[in-house]
Structure 1
Amino acid sequence: MNVGHEITQLVEEIRRLGSKNDQGKIMVTFGVLFSDDRCANIFEALVGTLKAAKKKKVVSFEAELLLQGVHDNVEITLLQE
């Protein structure tokens, strides 16, 4: 699948599952995104899509690599609407 298309889908899912933070940016935790059934069906490699989106400055998150359980509370912030 096309990386650009997956990033577009990721943005849609973050909007669907997320909420606005203090700065007015939409954010969601990795655990919410990872455990969502719809996301599980869309993304074969959610972590890879997140990493590509971070590299393109579409999202931001603190961790270098996200792992289920360990990083469930890491906030993923949408930088581009």
Structure 2
Amino acid sequence: MDVEKEVEMLKEEIKRLSEESNSDGRPVVTFGVLFADDKCANIFEALVGTLKAAKKKKIVSYDSELLLQGVHDDVKITLLVE
């Protein structure tokens, strides 16, 4: 699967799983929620790689260089571009 398609699917999954919004009304989800979701696990072979590509393209924002399951479960991922 190409990166562009995975990033588009990531946007949809963030919207589906977001339980809160930031002050601008943008969807926010934690890394732990994304990582633990069964649908996401089946869609994304490398969730962290997809998130990194989306961050580089300024589609999502999060405050960590590296995302590791367990350690970074509370890191909030904000969808910048819908």
The reply to whether TM is greater than 0.5 is yes
Q: How many residues end up aligned between the 2 structures?
A: 81
Counterparts of 1:17-32 in structure 2, within 5 Å, are 17-18=17-18, 19-32=20-33
Q: Percent identity?
A: 69
SS of corresponding position for 1:7: helix
Separation in 2, partners of 1:20, 1:77? 8
Gaps of 5+ in 2: none
Separation in 2, partners of 1:22, 1:54? 19
4+ long deviations beyond 4 Å: none
Separation in 2, partners of 1:54, 1:21? 17
Q: Which residue of 1 aligns with 2:73?
A: 72
| 1:56 partnered with 2:60 | no
1:10-45 alpha-carbon deviations (Å, 9 max, x no partner): 000000001322221111000000000000000000
Q: Which residue of 2 aligns with 1:10?
A: 10
TM-score scaled to structure 2, two decimals?
A: 0.96
Tell me the C-alpha RMSD between the 2 structures: 0.6
Separation in 1, partners of 2:79, 2:22? 10
